[in-house]
Chain A
Amino acid sequence: MLQTAWKSALAHKARLALTSVAILLGVAFVSGSFVFTDTIQARFESLFSDVYAGTDASVRGVAAEFGGDVRTEFPAVPQTVVTAVSALPEVAEAAGYIQGFGQIIDADGKPVGGMGPPTYVYSWVESPALNPFRITDGNGRAPTASGELVVDAATAQTAALSVGDRVSVQFASGTESFQLVGIVSFGDSNNLAGATIATITFADAQRILGLDGQVTFVDVVGVDSVSQDALVDSIAAVLPPSAEVVTGDQLTAEAISGFTDGLGFLSTALLGFAGVAVFVGAFIIFNTFRIVVAQRTRELALLRAVGASPRQVVTVVLTEALTVAVIASALGVLAGIGFAQLIKAAMGAVGFGPPDGPLTIEPRTFVIGMAVGILVTLAAALVPALHAARVPPVAAMQSSAGVRPARPVRTLLRVGILAVGAASVGFGLLTDRLLVTSLGAVVAVIAVLLLAPVLTRPVTWTVGRPIPGAVGLLARQNTARDPRRTSATASALTIGIALVVFTAIFAASTKDSIASSLDEAFPADLVVAPSNMYMAITPAAAEAVAAVPEVGVVSALRAGAAQIDGVDATVTAFNADTIEAVYTPGADVALATVGDGLLVQRTLVDEGAVAVGDTMTVAFPTGKSAALQVVGSFRDTTLGSYAVTGSTWDRLGGSSDAVTMLIGLAPGVGFQAGRTAVEKALAGFPSLTVNSVSDQIAAATAQVDAFLVLFTALLAMALFIAVLGIANTLALSIVERTREIGLLRAVGLSRRQVRAMITSEAVVTAVFGALLGSLLGVALGWVVVTAFAAEGLSSFSIPVLQVLLWLAVSALAGVIAAALPARKAARLDVLEAIAYE
């Protein structure tokens, strides 16, 4: 029996080739996601293990419970700690150094990096054992004198810097000019996950960052006989309370997790998209086996007639599925390795790539890839296999009917399921129960997919209407011939298009919401903000702007970490005297009258977390705190969750640095003239950018668009698999219809008309799937936007052009999917086709 199955699988290689590709692509996506995330993990592990290989212990300041310093990652400790630690008998060598933030400025005055990865400034460590940086071959030397600088190789390349150049670096305290004397690598890597690194002398670092007599780290090499734990114990004994010590191993682990913590999200997202691809692939596999079983009815009946049991027939079909699954999954895992290389290269191209090195291929990747491919294929082939088992032996004696009577679809039941799903969505939305809404949406989507066969005939009939003549008639009839087959073929595309359209609607609605809220909230002419999240607007910059005659109003927003009733939160401070001229956060009280009060985000009030009139304790990192009364709420999200006036902020010892400066131009000053004047005044602060509100909207829009492109690209795999499915169904149905095509040719259908007929079938099927998908996508988009309206998704926007574009792309995909099958059909020899059994 097994031999029969094997022979059958091998005899129909072509028939199963496209199915294999569907499995292969899904498995490639899954295993590629694993390889990619494993590789990032392993690369950072190896990088930091290498870099901290010589470090047995590290001393640093105890991080504040909340909040921090804009200058450094960790609080500084007194430099005397270095002397104390060095004096210990267990310590072979100790080096104190400084790590802070500084923005490198290129020759054109533009900031380098800083849009994501941090921009570090280090002081040079003389000890080779403890210095993480190596001067690369032939690229200068270490900084030894004040005003000398080395940068990492990737930054040097990005900013086109070479040894001897003058390079500006902007610090919180102002801009400094340096002579580039060397280029360094970080371990074996030319960069640190996209961070820019500027290393200067210890004295310069202390002076510029305002850390005289202090260091941020003391790295220690122990004597050979002492374990890391013992070393840490003896160091801890001599440290002041403001400092702590960790082992080298712990330091390595922290550094690795610092870079790989974000991976969980990435890995989940990639696997989510891989799941979509696999799900779509499952439709193709299911459909292929359904068709194959239908075509082999007589062969299977013959097996039954000569004594095979129904169970053996199931075995035959499933063995064939297993054969395909094993081969395709194995190839899929291999393709996944290539896929991972591709994502890695793409991430590297946008500056977020992992350190260089080989891909990491865990045994787990093989196991999961194979398991997914095999289980999905077997599951998808199971129903067709069970159908095969029900073929009666007498079918061997009957001629295979051209049209199989479709089992009546349980339409009413499915409409009922749809109604239940839709009702749950409505109920969930009205009562604000996200779980009910989501479950309802899933049920409704499944119901629509189940209803697709019922919709097939009317929809394909309408879609195919414009196709004229015999070609149109035949194409419409062929598409409607087996509604289950057509709808299963189209469903793969339905799912893909639904997700693509949903993503497009979500993006468009987000952009609209951002644009309308920014437009509404910011009557300001100009907005000044740091281009680097590690930098701030210093009072000096604020004064420079205030001094510009073209400027009428300047109002700064400050923000920082605080604890409110003991919970970590961000508090924003506004200048009560000037804010209302440039900012309208949708508050229910006049901002000028807030006084000592506290304002909260409207959603907190809506959720019942806070009520106007409550008194809340606001504690600042400075140790000061105050009990403030909630006097009102605001809608705009720029202010975060909590806002106080500048005077309250100052009273609690908040930083004088601002995060945003809102500028209203003086009456009669033109926008361009005002902007030019402000830019000129800020020429000495290159890390600050001057934008109009429309610039900000454009920037936010561009960010959303980037996500849209990324998500659509990841969904493209599912769309591609769906198109393969259409090609596969067509190819199989042409085999089935050989005699019919021969007859059509005999009575005068030209080759061109045969091609047009097959192509029309594909286009009609694709457009049917895409139409259904667009409707589902729009419905899902509406549900999600409505559900998240309170979270700021205020407007629902359908990008009609994009939806139409996807319909057009689907129709084109139909043409492409039909290319080979149509060619094959047109080339059938008329006489052979008529005689085909």
Chain B
Amino acid sequence: MTLADTRGREVREDIATSTTAAARMQDGRKTYGLDGAQVHALDGVDISFDRGAFTAIMGPSGSGKSTLLHTLAGLDTLDSGRVWIGQDELGPLRERGLTRLRRDRVGFVFQAFNLIPTLTARENILLPLTIAGRAVDQAWFDTVIATIGLADRLGHRPPQLSGGQQQRVAAARALVSRPEIVFADEPSGNLDSQSGAELLGFMRMAVREFGQTIVMVTHDPNAAAYSDHVVFLADGRVVAHLDDPTAASVLDFMKTLGA
């Protein structure tokens, strides 16, 4: 357990020069609202995500965790500061470059509405490849499908699938193009505990077995326990890190934050 504030400047320079991180942010700042009612969603965030790791971002409502995820993924832009996916900085990218980045190098799993209702499960999973016009790696596709355990439901459309199945299809879609990093925004938030556990187990397996990098925002200590590291945010700042979390250790730590 290390308080981020104590790392200070060295960390920042590490981030600027890192060659191993899957994604990084240096001094990220983002403010919502006008004078008087300003909310500092991100207030000088320095953070780096290792390749092949499953990181959970936690924090109370309004701590800036969703904004952090969106700005890292190129869905939103920072007011100031720098963001990299791998070696490429997002700041100079225009709309088209960001779209291509999302398409080719990033995967997403949202809390809800992850699938196009008119497309079958298979078409949804292959959507990023279809959009990019890339060939399907059939062996990898089969592996992913076998892992999520939905081989017999590929011809079904989303309304015919349960919520848990839909989220697993979404996770498969995020993995099938072998992105450098997958961002998940409360992926188990809408699921019952059984389905949630299945999904999170699958995500952890993707990290362990396939070396996938995953960054997940959650407010659920049980979900965070599936990750390798937990990053705590409060008031737009990184306030703490926790390695090899368990539900109990996360809960304990949250109590100290709240105190």
Contact = CB atoms under 8 A, between A and B. Distances in A.
Interface string A732-758: 000000011001111111110100000
A743 B114 contact: yes
A401 B117 CA distance: 9
Interface string B99-138: 1101110001010011111110001000110111100000
A831 B75 contact: yes
A786 to B, nearest CB: 43
B29 interface: no
B132 A748 contact: yes
Given A473-B123, A746-B75, A740 B159 contact: no
Of B96, B103, B131, most buried by chain A (CB within 10 Å of CB) is B131
B70 interface: yes
A834 interface: yes
Interface stretch (A200-208, A317-325, A474-482): A474-482
B131 to A, nearest CB: 4
Contacts of B76: 831
Nearest to A469: B133
Contact of A743 (B70, B113, B132): B113
A612 to B, nearest CB: 70
Contacts of A751: 95-96, 99
Contacts of B173: 747
B131 A403 contact: no
Interface string B68-80: 0010000110000
B101 to A, nearest CB: 8
Given A469-B131, A469-B133, A473-B130, A747 B102 contact: yes
A764 to B, nearest CB: 14
B157 A748 contact: no
A426 to B, nearest CB: 41
Contacts of A474: 116, 118-119
B215 to A, nearest CB: 15
A831 B157 CA distance: 24
A831 B130 CA distance: 22
Contacts, number: 78
A748 B133 contact: no
Contact of A477 (B104, B115, B119, B159): B119
B158 interface: yes
A264 B181 CA distance: 75
B1 to A, nearest CB: 33
A748 B110 contact: no
A822 to B, nearest CB: 16
Contacts of B96: 750-751
A433 to B, nearest CB: 48
Given A403-B157, A746-B75, A748-B128, A473 B119 contact: yes
A546 interface: no
A740 B116 CA distance: 6
B118 A470 contact: no
B118 A403 contact: yes
Nearest to A830: B75
A470 B108 CA distance: 18
A746 B131 contact: no
Given A403-B118, A477-B118, A749 B131 contact: yes
A623 interface: no
A402 interface: yes
B257 to A, nearest CB: 27
Contacts of B104: 748
Nearest to A753: B131
A402 B117 contact: yes
Nearest to A402: B117
Interface in A764-816: none
Nearest to B120: A477
Contact of B102 (A403, A473, A478, A746): A746
Contacts of A753: 131
A473 B133 CA distance: 12
Given A747-B108, A748-B99, A834-B110, A469 B130 contact: yes
B130 A470 contact: yes
Contacts of A480: 118
A244 B197 CA distance: 108
B97 to A, nearest CB: 10
A748 B100 contact: yes
Contacts of B159: 401-403
Contacts of B113: 739-740, 743, 834
Contacts of A744: 116, 127, 131
B40 to A, nearest CB: 18
A477 B130 CA distance: 14
A735 to B, nearest CB: 15
Contacts of A481: 118
Interface in A240-291: none
Interface in A208-264: none
Contact of B158 (A402, A473, A745): A402
A107 to B, nearest CB: 68
Given A470-B127, A470-B131, A830-B75, A748 B118 contact: no
Contacts of A834: 110, 113
A83 B122 CA distance: 104
A748 B70 contact: no
Nearest to B183: A746
A268 B248 CA distance: 85
Contacts of B70: 831
Contacts of B108: 746-747
Contacts of B118: 402-403, 474, 477-478, 480-481
Contacts of A743: 110, 113-116
Residue from A401, A403, A746 whose CB has the most chain B CB atoms within 10 Å? A746
Contacts of B130: 469-470, 473
- Looking at A480, A751, A834, the one whose CB has the most chain B CB atoms below 10 A away is A834
A751 B95 CA distance: 8
Nearest to A403: B117
Nearest to A478: B118
A744 B96 CA distance: 14
A142 to B, nearest CB: 80
A747 B133 CA distance: 13
A740 B103 CA distance: 16
A746 B170 CA distance: 13
A745 B99 contact: yes
Contacts of B119: 473-474, 477
A163 B161 CA distance: 91
Contacts of A749: 99, 103, 131
Nearest to A473: B130
Interface string A385-417: 000000000000000011100000000000000
A474 B76 CA distance: 25
B106 to A, nearest CB: 8
A740 B76 CA distance: 18
Contacts of A473: 119, 123, 130
Contacts of A401: 117, 159
A750 B173 CA distance: 18
Contacts of A746: 75, 102, 108, 110
B95 to A, nearest CB: 7
A745 B75 CA distance: 9
B82 to A, nearest CB: 20
Nearest to A481: B118
Closest 3 interchain pairs by CB? A748-B103, A402-B117, A477-B118
29 contacts: A402-B117, A402-B158, A402-B159, A403-B159, A469-B130, A469-B131, A470-B127, A470-B133, A473-B119, A473-B130, A474-B116, A480-B118, A481-B118, A739-B113, A743-B110, A743-B114, A746-B75, A746-B108, A747-B102, A747-B127, A748-B99, A748-B100, A748-B102, A748-B104, A748-B128, A749-B99, A750-B99, A751-B95, A834-B113
Interface of B: 70, 75-76, 95-96, 99-100, 102-104, 108, 110, 113-119, 123, 127-128, 130-133, 157-159, 173
Given A401-B117, A474-B118, A748-B99, 10 more contacts: A402-B117, A402-B159, A473-B119, A477-B118, A739-B113, A743-B116, A746-B102, A750-B99, A753-B131, A831-B70
